[in-house]
Amino acid sequence: MYKNIIRLFMVLVLIPNLVYSNKRGSMETIYLAGGCYWGLEELIRNIPGVEETQVGFSGGHIKNVTYKEVSSGESGHAESIKVIFNNEILKLNDLLFHFFRMHNPTTMNQQGNDIGDQYRSAIFFSNQYQQDTSNKVIEIVNQSKKWDAPIITKVVAFTKFYPAEDSHQKYLVKNPNGYSCHFDRKFDFTE
């Protein structure tokens, strides 16, 4: 009888906790900026292994910044995406290869018709591994010559992320005909 109780305890308590722990233990967060966050978020959130996205702002000097303040070009913030991904399914370098196909990382402070410092290309890293991987991926992308000009994406230490207003979250899900200057180019940077 005690063996059955122990087995039941393992099935109901220990095993689910181990599975949950393993799943959460493989989660990683990085912050990416590549122009207007609406289109970039829509593409990134559909990559297998991406568990959650949230649009907002990073890299500036105003606390609790709003979209209106960022749009003024005076906040120093970039429109950014918080990306939480399962690194057992999606490796950081593969996520970054997607990122470099989805936006033009060779234009200074511009994506399509969107011009301004808030539309710059940046990777906000949280640890040494993310910094090293980001720099290595940029080197590979540059060596591939898939882009006609060198990558100007800044690799910057993450400091703070301010979520955008709710109306901006999953914007293209809410507004399927909304504006986007992002698309997934069929580049293979490792050829």
Between CA 148 and CA 171 the distance in angstroms is: 31
Place of tokens 């640890």: 127
Q: Tokens representing 177?
A: 């005909």
Residue 87 and residue 28 in contact, taking contact as beta carbons nearer than 8 Å: yes
Q: Tokens representing 98?
A: 């997607």
* Selected catalytic residue, list 36, 83, 137, 156: 36
Is 181 considered catalytic here? no
- 73 φψ region: left (φ > 0), alpha (ψ -120 to 50), beta (else): left
C-alpha dihedral, 35 to 37 to 43 to 45, nearest 10°: 140
The residues near 103 (Cβ < 8 Å, ≥ 6 apart) are 34, 35, 40, 111, 121, 182
Residues carrying an active site annotation: 36
